Structure 1
């Protein structure tokens, strides 16, 4: 389905999305952030690789019980396992944040200026909030500019939104409608990454409900592990060695 048709159908189905969304909100628990500070290091010594995970609640690790089970910590561990060098990491996320909100309220409050790799996890809230294509273009495009300005030497990667039909918390009808919005968001995000010196990796394949937290929406420790393994394959020079993949299963 082309993006124009996806947009038209999704807007026609807004009343159903609102009704179903309110039902999901009533029954889905709101999870706290994981225990522990938002930064750390894997390996001893000066870290030449410094990793920033920035975005919405998933970037903050919501869904994991411990900070060591979040995306930033687990991706840093995989990179350290591959290279043998120490890797520093930092999680910086905000609940329910859109791309524009991450640009305006998260980026300015990160003190560190020496990250070598920045992983962006945004788009889900833009999709579920029915942000238009132009609004996401402005928000995400501005976020990419802000990241390149603040960390000009970092390699920047964006992890697109997963298939909404695979999210356990969403009834099939809502998953279908939000999937139309995700199609638009992911297409625009990939275009902006091509234009603004960032890498859009493939969307994370969902391997069943076992990788989701009790809210059926955020990842749990296993889900963040799968996500870290997926992202690592797209980082030049840091891709998982076969031995690492075997040990992490």
Structure 2
């Protein structure tokens, strides 16, 4: 009780500073474009995998010049060595989970074997509570199942925002705490979802590996992210073949 009260009082004391820093960071941080290049295609040979990637600016490849350097490009390239990959990317900078729900609702029903999500940063930086976000994440999972008949959903955790070099203290500490809180709730949700897996981009975010804005991934991080996702997909396909 006293620990929670102390945390609440600390947050209240720093709130004006956090709000001011948030406005400042939004003003001075470079607005990087989404990666150029194709957002759908079919590559590789072998067993067909229908892949959809959805999400925010990270899914859209902000931080690198071309989709070949982003999550989609690295992931499709890794999978194309073993499978025919029919893929599509639906992502937009600034998207929250609710934004993605609305965007997906406008899409026609399709079938995807695997869907990869990248959402949460814009929810963390807003005023959304972790509980509300988890409700929206459950709504998203349900929609992916019903609208896209998806068999496997790979949900990327919120990145460790407490390591973002673009964020000054105490804003960095505050958003780092919120991102950790969101991830704890997300892990609890996924334990009851047999068709879902978490993607944790483990390890510290080295400043030199991030984009020039200090907020988005660079090519090295996108490659690492794609390798983790590809490994999960390979393992799941092998299990289904047994």
- Judging changes above 3 Å, is the alpha-carbon distance between structure 1 residues 34 and 4 closer, same or farther for their aligned structure 2 residues? farther
Indicate which of 225, 228, 231 corresponds to 1:230: 228
8 A Cα contact 2:45 2:80, kept in partner: no
What secondary structure is seen at the aligned counterpart in 1 of 2:165?
coil
1:68-93 Cα offsets, whole Å, 9 max, x none, are 11211211111223xx2222222111
For structure 2, which runs of at least 5 residues remain unmatched after alignment? 238-242
Higher mean displacement: 12-21 or 156-165: 12-21
How far residue 51 of structure 1 moved from its aligned partner, in angstroms, is: 1.4
Decide whether aligned partners of structure 1 residues 43 and 24 sit closer, same or farther in structure 2, where only a CA change above 3 A counts. Answer: same
Gaps of 5+ in 1: 240-249
Mark the CA change 1:8 to 1:204 in structure 2 (over 3 Å): closer, same or farther.
farther
Per-residue deviation, 1:8: 7.3
* Pick aligned residue for 1:169 from 152, 158, 166: 166
Report deviation, 1:235.
Answer: 2.8
1:1-249 residue pairs with structure 2 within 5 A? 10=11, 13-44=14-45, 48-81=48-81, 84-104=82-102, 106-111=103-108, 113-197=110-194, 198-237=196-235
CA distance in 2, matches of 1:207, 1:238: 27
**How many Å separate the matches in 2 of 1:3 and 1:183?**
16
Conserved 8 A contact 1:99-1:123? yes
Superposed CA RMSD: 2.5
Partner in structure 2 of residue 246 of structure 1 = none
Q: Deviation of residue 102 (structure 1)?
A: 1.0
TM-score by length of 2: 0.85
Q: Paired residues, what number?
A: 234
SS at match of 1:134: helix
Distance 1:101 1:203 in 2: 23
Do the aligned partners of 1:232 and 1:238 also contact (CA within 8 Å) in 2? no
- Measure the CA separation in 1 of the matches of 2:179 and 2:73: 27
Higher mean C-alpha deviation, range 48-57 or range 194-203: 194-203
Give the TM-score normalised by structure 1.
0.83
Contact 2:72 2:89 in 1 (8 A): yes
Counterparts of 1:7 and 1:178, CA distance in 2: 15
Does the 8 Å contact 1:124/1:161 carry over to 2?
yes
Q: Secondary structure at the match of 2:42?
A: strand
Q: Is the 8 A contact 2:69 2:219 kept in 1?
A: yes
Question: What is the CA-CA distance between 1:50 and the residue it aligns to?
Answer: 1.7
For the residues of structure 1 that align with 2:9 and 2:25, how far apart are their CA atoms? 24
